[in-house]
Chains A and B, each alone.
Chain A
C-alpha cells in the first residue's frame, strides 16, 4: 500500500512535468509559420507574450494568448530616424545615438525588435479622432495637428500601439497612460524602445510627452486626474481583461461621471468598445452609450471600425462583432453639428510621411472554398524566391468597391501548382528550420485535406492605415445609419425610418455601480 502511494506520487509528478501545457500556441491555422516568441512574462493580472513574425511585419502583445494590439516591425524606429533626415515632419521622433535611446532589450531571431509608430491593429489608428474633433483645441492651434497640444489620458496600455499613433500625429500631445499592471508597463518599455524614449521627452510647454503610471484607473481618475494642473482634453477607455471583457468598474455611470469631472469643458471620452449592431454584443455598445449619457456626457456618437478588407463602407455587416470607437462629450460630436471637426476627420491622412508600396508583407496559405485558411501561412519568399512560376499562375482577385483596398489577393485551384507549392514549403522547412527557429513543420502544408485553393495575400501596411481610415470615415459620416443612436434605435421620439433596428437606447443596459455588468453582457 505504501509502495503504491509512492508510485502514484512519482507517476503524477512525471506526467505533470512531461505533459504540462504551454503558455502560448504558435502553431495555428492562418498564422504565419515564422512566428517566434520574443518574451513571455506572467503577472498577478495576466499572462503576456510578445510574439513577432518578420514576414507578416508584426510584433504583437498577447494576453492569455489573445492578440490585444500589435505594431508593425517595419518601418522601424531606425527607419523613421533615417527618413527624418529629409523630412522635418518626423523630427519629433528623431533620436540621437548620444542619448542612448536605441537599446532594445533582447535579440530575437538574429535581430532586435525596434518597431516604429505604424500599428498592425486597426482600431488604434482611430485614437486621433478625439483630438481632431476638439474644436477649441484645434482652432487655438490654427487647425495644425503639429501645433495642437492636447492633454490625453489613456486607460490601458496594451502594446502601446495606440499611444504611438497619437505621438506620431500630435508632436505636442502630453499623454498619460494609466495601467493597473506594472509588469505590462515593464514589458512594453523593454521591447518598444520608442515608447520608452518618449517618456524622456518634453513638449514645447515642458510637459512630459509620455507618462506611464501603474494604478487602477478608477483611483487615478478619482484622485490624480482631478489634481492635474490642466484637465484632460481626451480620456481614452481601452482597458480590457482576458476574453475581450471590460473591467466592470470601468464601465459604469459613476465612473463616467468621474471622467466627466476630470475633463476640460470641450473634452471628450472615446472608448474602444467591442460589439455589434445586432445580437447580444450590441448590449455592450448600447449600454456604454447609455451610461455615458447618464453621466452627463450627453453628446455621443459611434464609429464602427471597418478594418477588414472584407468590410464595405456602403454595406456594414451589422451582425459582425467589431471594434467601435464610441465618442462622448458635452459638445456636439456628430457629423451635422460638429461639421468642422468632421471635415478635419475626412481630410486627415494617417502617417503622411510614410510611403506606400514600401512596408509590405505577403503570405501563402491553402484555403477552403470560403477563403478560410486550412494551413498556417508561409512567407511568400519561400515560394516566390524558389519558383516564380507559382506566382505567375495565380489569378488576382478584384477588390470589391467600397472596401478598404490595402491587400492584393490572388489564387489558383491548379492541382499541380498546389503540389509544387507544397514541395517548396517542405524544402524550405528542411533547410531553414534550425536557422529560423521554426517551431515545427508549417501546420497543414503536409497533410491538409481538400486543399483545393492556393492563396496569396499581400498587405501594404501604410496603405492599410490610410484605407481603413478612409473607408471607416465614409461609413461613419452617414449619421442616419451609423450614429450611436441608430446602433440602438432612436434616442427618443418616433422611430426614424433609417434606424437599423427598433431596439431603443432605453433597452440598452444602464451600467451603474449597483449593476455594473459590462463583464457579464460581453459574453
Chain B
C-alpha cells in the first residue's frame, strides 16, 4: 500500500510536469511566436529546473524523516499550475516591447513562468527515493523502478497533453484541473504521514 502510494505519486508528478511543458508553448507563442527559439527556451528551462530540483530535493530528503515536505512541494506546485492561468499570458504581454523577442524574451518568460512549478516537481524524485528506500542492497532496484515509473508518467503527460488536452479543452481549465490533481495529491501526503525507513542508518549501540 505504502509503495503503491509512492509510485502513484511519481507517475502523477511525472505526468503533470511534461503536460505542463507541452501546454507551456501555448502560453508563450501568442507573444513570442512558434519558432524553435521558443522550444529551446522552454525545454532548457525545464531541464534546468529539474537539475536544481534534484539538488534541493535530495538535501531535503536527507534532513526530513516524513513525507510532510514532499506533500508541501507537490501542493505548492499545484498552486503554481492554477495561478498560472492568472499571470501567465499577462506577464508575457506586460513585458516591454524590446523584451518581447523570441530569442531572449521567451527564455525570460519561461524562467519566470515555468521554473517554480517544474523545480518543485523536480524535488519529488529524490524525496520519493528516500521514502521507498528499504535497504542498501536494493537501492539500485528501488531508484530504477521509481525513475521508470516517473518516466512513464512523463510519456503519458506529453501524449495526453498533445492529443487530448490541446485539441479538446481550453488552456485555463486544463491548467486548473492539473493543478487541482497536484494539490489533492499534496494534501494526501500532508494528511497521511509516512516515516522514512531508518534501518539504513543504525543508531549507535543498536547492534542486534
In the complex with contacts A219-B100, A514-B172, A516-B26, A247-B167 CB distance below 8 A: no
Partner pick for B33 among A216, A519, A520, A521, CB 8 A cutoff = A216
B171 at the A interface (CB under 8 A)? yes
Q: List, in ascending order, chain A residues with CB within 8 A of B169's CB.
A: 515
* Closest beta carbon of chain A to B134's beta carbon, Å: 35
Q: Which of B162-187 contact A (CB under 8 A)?
A: 166-167, 169-172
Q: How far is the CA of A303 from the CA of B193 in the complex (A)?
A: 66
Q: Which of A456-514 contact B (CB under 8 A)?
A: 512-514
Q: List, in ascending order, chain B residues with CB within 8 A of A521's CB.
A: 167
B31 at the A interface (CB under 8 A)? yes
* Closest beta carbon of chain B to A414's beta carbon, Å: 54
A108 at the B interface (CB under 8 A)? no
Q: List, in ascending order, chain A residues with CB within 8 A of B102's CB.
A: 180, 216
B89 at the A interface (CB under 8 A)? yes
Mark each residue of chain B from 100 to 112: 1 if its CB lies under 8 Å from any CB of chain A, else 0: 1110000000000
Q: Which of B81-106 contact A (CB under 8 A)?
A: 89, 97, 100-102
Are B171 and A252 within 8 A (Cβ)?
no
Number of residues in B with C-beta < 8 Å to the partner?
Answer: 21
Q: List, in ascending order, chain B residues with CB within 8 A of A515's CB.
A: 166, 169-171
- Which chain B residue shows the least CB distance to A247? B34
In the complex with contacts A44-B37, A45-B35, A45-B36, A516-B100 CB distance below 8 A: no
- Which chain B residue shows the least CB distance to A45? B35
B interface secondary structure, majority? helix
B144 at the A interface (CB under 8 A)? no
Are A517 and B167 within 8 A (Cβ)?
yes
Interface residues, chain A, with chain B CB atoms under 8 Å away: 44-45, 180, 216-219, 223, 241, 247-249, 252, 254-255, 512-517, 519-521
B29 at the A interface (CB under 8 A)? yes
Are A219 and B34 within 8 A (Cβ)?
no
Are A249 and B29 within 8 A (Cβ)?
yes
Q: How far is the CA of A254 from the CA of B31 in the complex (A)?
A: 11
Q: List, in ascending order, chain B residues with CB within 8 A of A218's CB.
A: 30-31, 33
- Of A216, A223, A255, A515, most buried by chain B (CB within 10 Å of CB) is A216
Are A249 and B30 within 8 A (Cβ)?
yes
- Of B34, B35, B97, B100, most buried by chain A (CB within 10 Å of CB) is B34
Are A247 and B33 within 8 A (Cβ)?
yes
Q: Which of B3-56 contact A (CB under 8 A)?
A: 26, 29-37
Q: List, in ascending order, chain B residues with CB within 8 A of A255's CB.
A: 30
Are A516 and B172 within 8 A (Cβ)?
no
- Which chain B residue shows the least CB distance to A44? B36
Q: How far is the CA of A517 from the CA of B37 in the complex (A)?
A: 20
Are A241 and B30 within 8 A (Cβ)?
no
Q: How far is the CA of A241 from the CA of B33 in the complex (A)?
A: 12
In the complex with contacts A216-B32, A216-B102, A223-B97, A514-B170 CB distance below 8 A: yes
12 additional contacts (CB under 8 A) given A44-B35, A223-B100, A520-B167: A180-B33, A180-B35, A216-B33, A216-B102, A219-B97, A247-B29, A247-B34, A248-B34, A249-B34, A252-B30, A254-B30, A515-B169
Q: How far is the CA of A45 from the CA of B29 in the complex (A)?
A: 14
